[in-house]
Amino acid sequence: MFHLTILLVLAMSLAAFAQNAKDETRQDRKAFTAANAIKDPRKKIEALEKFKRGFPASDSLDAADRTIFWPTRETPPRSAASAL
């Protein structure tokens, strides 16, 4: 009975942790999408910098950095090495 109680408590803790992680992911995706939708390059960069400060563990940090570096391009230019 004791082992069953421990397993039940662990399962409930994992479910709560998964829900919190899911909510955090939704919030960071929503913030990144909103910042990335801004058309003015200066305002977009400011919003993406704010996003990076607000969500330092986000999976979208690399995408934010690329957008900050190339704010007016759809994709970064190909390097000479990749063209070979």
Q: How confident is the model at residue 14 (pLDDT cuts 50, 70, 90)?
A: low
**What pLDDT is stored for residue 74 in this prediction?**
56
- Mean pLDDT score across all residues of the chain: 76
Closest CA to 29 of 54, 12, 1, 4: 54
Which run of H or E residues covers position 10?
helix 2-36
Q: What is the pTM of this model?
A: 0.59
Helix axes 41-54, 2-36, angle to 10 degrees: 170
Output the pLDDT for position 13: 63
